[in-house]
Amino acid sequence: MFLRLFDFNQKVNYKNEILAGLTVAMTMIPESLSFAILAGFSPLTGLYAAFIMGFVTAIFGGRPGMVSGGAGATVVVLIALMQSHGMEYVFAAVALAGTLQVLVGLFKLAKFIRLVPQPVMYGFVNGLAVIIFMAQLEQFKAGEGAESVWLSGTRLYIMLGLVLLTVAIVWFFPKFTKAVPASLVAIITIYLLVLGLHIDTKTVRDIASISGGFPPLHIPAVPISWETVKIIFPYSLVMAGVGLVETLLTLNVVDEIVGNRGRGNQESVAQGTANMLNGFFSGMGGCAMIAQTFVNLSAGSRARLSGIIASLTILLVVLFGAPIIERVPMAALVGVMMMVAIGTFEWMSLRIVNKMPKSDILVGVLVAVITVLLHNLALAVLLGVIIAALVFAWESAKRIRARKYVDERGIKHYELYGPLFFGSTMAFMEKFDIASDPKEVILDFKESRVADMSGINALNKLTERYKLAGKTLHLRHLSEDCRTLLKNAGDMIEVNILEDPTYRIPSDMF
């Protein structure tokens, strides 16, 4: 198997890639630290995850330009396991989750992300935008946990002023030049301003120390037994699912922005490999990070180099640059992330809301609300898909119809239009006038298809009713799978094998 990791025909803007990578690293460090501390992990587990996830997926992933790291969506899943069994079980669960993700990619199951409709995508992106924005408000507090209180007085005004200055730079700087990412310019400007004027404000050091060594090889110290598997498997399964849902949805969003298609299965394998390494190199695991991905894309990155630069920068910061990065004002990072949240939000979804079906509006709002309130992306997307599927089934059930006519031989024809499935069987049965029909009837499926066992059962019942009435029903253009199941119809079924429709789904590229 040959993976096209680097497209040497692609024209790479090295300046944009390097600057984008540095900007992404600056925004990823405090976020990874925050999520690690939130879950009760060591701060370095967050940075190790950012390095490992970013480096592996940048090289082997299926979507150049997409950024992965220690994401909160996957970390939140592991909090309960951390509290009940400790960090060693967390590392084991992360490794197992990675294995499951690799299997998804190897068996090419990433294509099922196609089942996610556009309203769910809107809800997912808008919900994440709100989460990103709301998460920044925590930086306006002092203290930790239940003891944290909102800033007040001079400290609040300084923090607010620096954030607004950062937002202004990010907003207006591209109007003058796009040669350098506005986010990086904003971070450097605020850094130098605070350093030069000796402004007392919150810095990265106030979150945690980020000084450490290279990620150490560490085999999780858990008993190798079936009991251990039973403990960690539910967490691993949910983490793998949440990680892939967020990753593949982010990949789809990037596809729309960039204008070409990424490889979902390849990305699944890369994500899984990175998480497996996390489990054995003291990382908390993660997935694609939509906020950092938007930072990367807005900085002009379209290749793999920026992700590699970002991950290596994080490693170098851990090894050597901690004293410098720890002095970066949180206000600068908060302002950048707030602008990312504003850019992430699908404002177009608000402009077209009056043109969308009410069911689509409901689905989009529901997904966004669940994402914001529960931070459970997998549940939000799953419920959205289920509701959208039920709405589709209801609308499709109303569209089944039949054209009726009697030919010159006195045979009555029913030409069916629309799918025959569990939702349309009742309407289907009501279209036949068995008592008044002639001795011979033809039901033509050229413009229809039996979709499930409910449809098969409806055909069996209809055939039996015509048989009891002493009449013959012929079924034409019925697909082969349906004919195989229709055993009760026996000799009364007439099929045209040459014209039977065959439906195939194009397989995904790896």
60 vs 403: CA distance, rounded Å: 54
pLDDT interval class at 364 (50, 70, 90): confident
Judge contact between 488 and 464, C-beta under 8 A.
Answer: yes
| Mean pLDDT value across the chain | 84
Backbone angles phi, psi at 347, to 5 degrees: -65, -25
Mean local confidence (pLDDT), 297-303: 88
Q: Per-residue confidence at 282, pLDDT binned at 50, 70, 90?
A: very high
Dihedral of the alpha carbons of 252, 302, 328, 76, in degrees to the nearest 10: 20
Burial of 460 (C-beta count, 10 Å sphere; 0-12/13-18/19+): middle
- Pairing verdict, β 149-150 and 141-142: antiparallel
Which residue has 């986010």 as its token pair?
183
DSSP character for 320? I
> Lowest-pLDDT range, 219-223, 244-248, 392-396?
392-396
Distance CA 202, CA 328 (A): 9
Q: How big is the chain, counted in residues?
A: 510
For residue 487, what pLDDT is reported?
Answer: 57
Helices 153-176 and 330-344: angle between axes, nearest 10 degrees = 50
* Whole-number pLDDT of residue 77: 77
Q: What is the pLDDT of residues 467-490, one digit of tens each?
A: 899 998 888 887 676 666 565 545
Q: Which of 341, 241, 238, 279 is nearest to 31 (CA)?
A: 341
- Report residue 300 as tokens: 């002009």
Residue-wise burial string across 149-170, b where 16 or more C-beta atoms lie within 10 A, e elsewhere: eebeeeeeebbeebbebbbebb
Residue 443: phi, psi to the nearest 5?
Answer: -105, 115
482, 480, 471, 485: which is closest to 500 by C-alpha? 480
Better pLDDT: 484 or 192: 192
pLDDT digits (tens, 9 = 90+) for 130-169: 877 887 888 888 876 667 788 888 999 999 999 999 999 9
CA gap 132, 168 in Å, rounded: 19
Q: What is the dihedral of CA 62, 48, 230, 112, to 10 degrees?
A: -20
Question: Quick one: tokens of 299?
Answer: 């900085």
Give the pLDDT confidence of 39-98 residue by residue, as tens digits.
778 889 999 999 999 999 999 999 999 999 988 778 877 888 998 999 999 999 999 999
